[in-house]
Amino acid sequence: MNLIENELKEAEDLLSKSECLYDQKAIDQAIDRVAQEMNEKLGSKNPLLLCVMNGAVIFTGQLATRLTFPLQIDYVHVTRYQGEIEGREIHWVAEPSVDVKDRTIVIVEDILDLGLTLAAVKQHCQAHGAKEVYCAALIDKKRSRAIGGVERCDFTGLFVEDRFLLGYGLDYKGFLRNVPGIYAVKPEYL
């Protein structure tokens, strides 16, 4: 068995040892609510949505279809995981390709965990002249944030306890992002 096959087997095994916290219906309701809040607050600002790759791609796509105002979408690729399950130093893979100067920016992230990735992207946008920067996350993990991390997002879909999560953008070694729900590994299996 090669490395990819082994990691896929591990991912499938981990999913089988997980419980669904939020199904697709609950996620849709949360995204609807976030979109309504954003429509009310940002409708006249012509914002630039910055999707934090790879995790936020599903949330960004679902959210964007619910927004009723003109906007642009770009991405940043910033990671602390680099294929691992524990975060390390911030690593920039790709900066925004659209100029953020004098723009309203909405950084769209899959999860607010320690807050370091969001803080790095927010600081980057501010340093490059963004007029204002908002943060949106599908999930806020209830836990202490790292020193210097974003404490809370302006727009949040769901809240979860501090557990290892999978699905809807959240992965295990690159797998399971496409699972249509948010799953937590049962504590007895960690």
CA distance 68 to 94: 28
Neighbours of 105 (CB within 10 A): 26
Neighbours of 134 (CB within 10 A): 20
Sign of CA dihedral 80, 181, 187, 108: positive
pLDDT tens digits for range 37-90: 999 999 999 999 999 999 999 999 999 999 999 999 999 999 876 555 565 688
CA distance 35 to 18: 29
Architecture of domain 21-172: 3-Layer(aba) Sandwich (3.40)
Domain boundaries, the chain: 21-172
The per-type count for the chain, helices as H runs and strands as E runs, is 4, 9
Instruction: Identify the helix (H) or strand (E) that includes residue 8.
Output: helix 3-16
Q: Report residue 149: phi and psi, to 5°.
A: -85, 160
pLDDT for 177: 97
Residue 122: pLDDT over 80: yes
The verdict on whether omega for the bond into residue 54 sits within 30 degrees of 0, i.e. cis, is: yes
pTM: 0.93
